[in-house]
Structure 1
Amino acid sequence: MIQINQLSKKYKNAERFSVHNLDLVIDEGEVFGILGPNGAGKTTLISMLSSLLKPTSGSFTIDGLSYQGHMSRLKQLIGIVPQEYALYPTLTAFENLKYFGSMYGLKGMELTQKINEHLEILGLKPFAHKKIQTFSGGMKRRINLIAGILHKPKVLFLDEPTVGVDVQSKNAIMSFLKELNENGTTILYTSHHLNEAEEFCSRIAIIDLGTIICKGKPEELIRNEPEAKNLEEVFLARTGKALRDYA
């Protein structure tokens, strides 16, 4: 579903590449996790695959379409749930979702039905006509997720989809994502919640300084790392325990 060849990104005036000569193949129907410390290149990679950032070099295809020649078609195939809330705070939940759904060509009763259906599934139907600025963090995360999947994308990019949410919201989000995947959506996912990633992902790549340092099924990575009992211990063994603050 996703083929990445020697993909690189270096920002203007940066001292190093944020993503450097990255090769990766993600199969249809996978939940593929991209894990790494702060500044490892996770968000930059997703931004390039979403056509939000132009690569410095290299190429990629999604469902056989390259971003160079098929950007508009490619954008119809994908859904994006960014780390930051991509919502208008003074609009209601319904108004936000109507706006984002219309960007993908949805309209009329079809759009209204999809919005109401997803609000119901994620427990937000009673708040449909409340302004986003009144919502808790977990409620905003769930609306953020709905905005990215109303058009039923083939590929869903998730950048920290459960950061800062309560346990109940996290459970609702993860259950919903598992159902999406079971219905055929390929998911590319980043997170700092390693226990969540270990349970959720079919395969994982750990990246650091813009390059892949290991990849495989979670259980394989744990088995192949001496004395590691879980994915967090694999992560620390591969990336080190030094703080990764950056500005």
Structure 2
Amino acid sequence: MAVAHRGAVIDLNSDLGENAPGRVVSDDEAMLDVVTSANVSCGAHAGTADGIRSTLAAAARRGVVVGAHPGYRDLEGFGRRSLDVDAAALQADLEGQLADLVPMAGAAGTRVRYVKPHGALYNDAVADASRARTVVAAVRAVDPTLPVLGLPGSALLDAAQRAGLGTATEAFADRGYLASGALVPRGQPGAVLHGVDEVARRMARLVRDGQVAAVDGTALRLRADSICVHGDSPGAVAMAVAVRRALEAEGIPLAPFAP
């Protein structure tokens, strides 16, 4: 079942808990002052146990909703490389990642309220129905009440709905779109957006009018329950602040999609 769309109300999320000694990629404390939901690493693609606990505790102090952010077990590649892992092994690994994060969240004074795959796993589950079913099977095995956050029209959300899981859709503030609605692959022109003002205007238009410009200029129709600003993007906090201010200037309230 889909999480009910809430009209102009919108969630703002970011991928956090990914820092490690010698590899600090985001300012989690500052970002948690801006977003309403945090996709917290489960430790497979990035982050350390201590850092993840710290991010969970910081989210709990601020009342920011926490989601699990599992990915391919690929610290070296930051989870942004597709891995050839068979379905059974991947499902077991994802179940382990989720099962590890749930008690950590509880100990930090919060709880996991949704699941959003990370990086290459997210992208693979957009178009690969088999990968999508594997992710969904892992979520169902750990907690079938958890909704899945993903790209509109993706195989992931289709598989989740077929399995009876809740779903919610997201748009990416700092990523470019193809006319098909898919994200521009990283490494291609227009994949990552850096202009703070441009991004803020794009997201205000998205929520207000249900449209965003694709890289070829096409007015792409999208409906999203949440907007993501990647925590490891350059100037991520400033971008999140600008998006939030642009939405508030339009009179659009921000609230978690999974309260």
Q: Where on the TM-score scale, by shorter chain, does this alignment land: which range?
A: 0.3 to 0.5
For the pair shown, the structure with the greater C-alpha radius of gyration is: 1
TM-score by length of 1: 0.34
Q: Which has the higher contact order (CA 8 A, sep 6+)?
A: 1
